[in-house]
Amino acid sequence: MPAQLTGLSVSQSPVVQLTVQGVQTSPTSSLSNLSSVGSPLNSFSILTLNSPTSFIGDIKIRKLCMFEHILDQVASMLGADRWDELPLVDQERIKIVVNQAYRECYAPVDGHRPRWASRKIKLFFPQGAQSADLELDVIDVEKVPVLVGHGPLSPMNSRNDEITARAHYSGDFRPVGGYQGSFPSIDMDEPEVDRPIWYFIDQVDNEEDFTVVPRMVLYPIPDKDYEVELVGNIIPDNLEVGDSPRLPGEVCWDILLPIAQYKLLSDPRYNGGNREVIVQAAKEAKRKLKHFSSPQKQRTTRIIRRGGW
pLDDT tens sequence across 65-124:
899 999 999 999 998 999 999 999 999 999 999 999 999 999 998 888 888 999 999 999
CB 158 within 8 A of CB 200: yes
Give the number of other CB atoms < 10 A from CB of residue 134.
Answer: 21
What integer pLDDT is reported at residue 209 of this predicted model? 66
**Residue scoring higher pLDDT (50 or 195):** 195
Question: Rounded distance, CA 260 to CA 258, Å?
Answer: 5
What integer pLDDT is reported at residue 17 of this predicted model? 43
Flag whether pLDDT at 211 surpasses 90.
Answer: no
**Residue scoring higher pLDDT (58 or 187):** 187
Q: Are strands 154-155 and 198-205 parallel, antiparallel or unpaired?
A: parallel
What integer pLDDT is reported at residue 297 of this predicted model? 58
Cα dist from 4 to 12, 71, 213, whole Å: 19, 40, 57
What integer pLDDT is reported at residue 286 of this predicted model? 92
Flag whether pLDDT at 163 surpasses 50.
Answer: yes
106-119 pLDDT, tens digit each: 999 888 888 899 99
Return the SS3 of 101.
Answer: helix
240-285 pLDDT, tens digit each: 999 999 988 789 999 999 999 999 998 888 888 889 999 999 999 9
Handedness of CA 82, 87, 92, 93 (dihedral sign): negative
Average pLDDT, the chain: 77
**Residue scoring higher pLDDT (192 or 223):** 223
Mean pLDDT is lowest, of 147-161, 188-202, 205-219, 225-239, for: 205-219
pTM of the model: 0.67
Flag whether pLDDT at 40 surpasses 80.
Answer: no
Flag whether pLDDT at 16 surpasses 50.
Answer: no
Cα dist from 76 to 88, 242, 264, 271, whole Å: 15, 20, 11, 12
Mean pLDDT of all residues in 147-166: 85
